[in-house]
A and B are shown apart, each in its own frame.
Chain A
Amino acid sequence: MYDHNLAVFDPDILISFYQGMSAEMLVESLQIYLQEGAMLQETIMMDFDLGKDVQRGFHSLKTTSKMVGAMRIHDICRNYELQTQREERLRLISEFEMEWESAEEAIQAWIDAR
């Protein structure tokens, strides 16, 4: 499936990509990620139900999730791209829905603490 030992949100990874950028920039980036991610998440869920291909959405979210340190989401997206069995994809979609909420909470908590 995906690695449950990965951090929901690792701010050190965010900082490693955004080297030298201000705290305000980091917060702004996370807010963009949450906003864009929420829209992608909704689109993915709707499209999957309609039997549409959701590969593109997962691919986009895979890269941006890694950049901000949302490592579980990144791993789910990565695994979805590799998975071909419908049952497994369905399970990953469900995991994605749950983990997205956890990632949102963790990231928002970090933003609120700045």
Chain B
Amino acid sequence: MTGTEFQVLAVDDAQLMCHFIYETITGLQGFACKTATEFVTAEAALKNHKIDMAIIDIQLKNASGLTLAKNIRMGRYSCRHDIPILIFTGFTYKDDIKQCLAFDMHDVLVKPVTVMELRERVKKNKNKRMEIKPPEYYQSLEEPAETARKEMKAAITKSVSAEKSRYQPKPVSVESRVESSDEGAFIKWPDQITSGYHQLDRRMKTITFLLNTLHWSTYRKDKYTEAGNDINKIKLASDDMHFVAQRLKTKHPGDPMWTSLFDRLKGFSTIPIEKLSVPDLPKEQAEDIFKRLHNAWLSILSKPVIKRI
């Protein structure tokens, strides 16, 4: 890099996009490129380096690329505030387009683009004459929105403190901490085991956790209003595991554990778990269902389905 090259800053949270833009731009004579995958890195580049053009993805991880672009126009960095700014987006939301127009962005590109298209747009916008107003103008555009946000926040704070808050946080139950450990769990996850398929291991752990939650909540909560919802999650998770196991079986038909797994999953799915959401279900019936769930699930967490690592 000689220092006289036209310096482009590419900002996108996808490494592949940065790589693509970098290779595309540096293939043009007289052009250089810096990349940034994060808002703070991009700001550092804008503050510390001479940047002649910015290509910015509208949605960065945990930040807005549009904010970065507006900051440039408001003269918040050491680069010129009137440099060409190209907004890169996978969306075409009307509000975003309006903001781009209001802050005089040079161009909006919808992803994905080809090498040729990107090079054409960069060359075109390098030479494009646009009337960019002074930074104070763009600051004034931003200020009413900022003031409105602060006023709203003040109004909310004022109204909450004016009347006594009726929010009463639920007392933290020590027992809820016990639930998270294996001690006293309905089903203890065996140590160092695997089915041989990480897709199944992950799902078995999830279902074990869901069953433990169901058991704990049934016996510890005064009113278990989410029972139906939690039971539904278990049924969906079990269906999902069955579906994934079917797909894995087509890829690995020689594994002898499939027959046992499907038989045991079928046994598990025939247990009338939804009865646990019936209010005032007799204690003996609930205990019977849990016993069957316990035995059926433990049979799935046994050989030949699972093996010790």
Contacts and interface: CB of A to CB of B under 8 A. Distances in A.
A90 B236 contact: yes
B168 to A, nearest CB: 25
B236 A87 contact: yes
A97 B61 CA distance: 23
Nearest to B115: A19
B20 A29 contact: yes
B15 A17 contact: no
Contacts of B115: 17-21
A20 B17 CA distance: 17
Given A21-B115, A25-B23, A63-B112, A98 B247 contact: yes
B13 interface: yes
Contacts of B59: 56, 59
Contacts of A45: 202
Contacts of B244: 94, 97-98
A60 interface: yes
A19 B116 contact: yes
B19 interface: yes
Interface in A55-90: 56, 59-60, 62-64, 66-68, 86-87, 90
A49 interface: yes
Contacts of A63: 14, 17, 90, 111-112
B99 interface: no
Given A20-B115, A62-B90, A67 B20 contact: yes
Most-contacted residue by chain B among A35, A56, A62, A94 (CB, 10 A): A94
Contacts of A67: 16, 20, 112
A28 B236 CA distance: 40
A17 B16 CA distance: 13
Contacts of A33: 16
Nearest to B248: A98
A36 B236 contact: no
Given A59-B90, A63-B90, A36 B14 contact: yes
Nearest to A99: B247
Contacts of A98: 199, 244, 247-248
A60 B247 CA distance: 26
Most-contacted residue by chain A among B20, B113, B116, B244 (CB, 10 A): B20
B206 interface: yes
A108 interface: no
Most-contacted residue by chain A among B16, B20, B27 (CB, 10 A): B16
B109 to A, nearest CB: 12
Nearest to A18: B115
B4 interface: no
Nearest to B19: A32
Interface in A26-60: 28-29, 32-33, 35-36, 45, 49, 56, 59-60
Contacts of B219: none
A19 B19 CA distance: 15
B182 interface: no
B19 A64 contact: no
B167 interface: no
Closest 4 interchain pairs by CB?
Answer: A67-B112, A63-B111, A64-B16, A19-B115
Interface of A: 16-21, 25, 28-29, 32-33, 35-36, 45, 49, 56, 59-60, 62-64, 66-68, 86-87, 90-91, 94, 97-98
6 contacts: A19-B115, A21-B115, A32-B19, A49-B206, A97-B244, A98-B244
Interface of B: 13-17, 19-20, 23, 27, 59, 61, 90, 111-116, 199, 202, 206, 236, 240, 243-244, 247-248
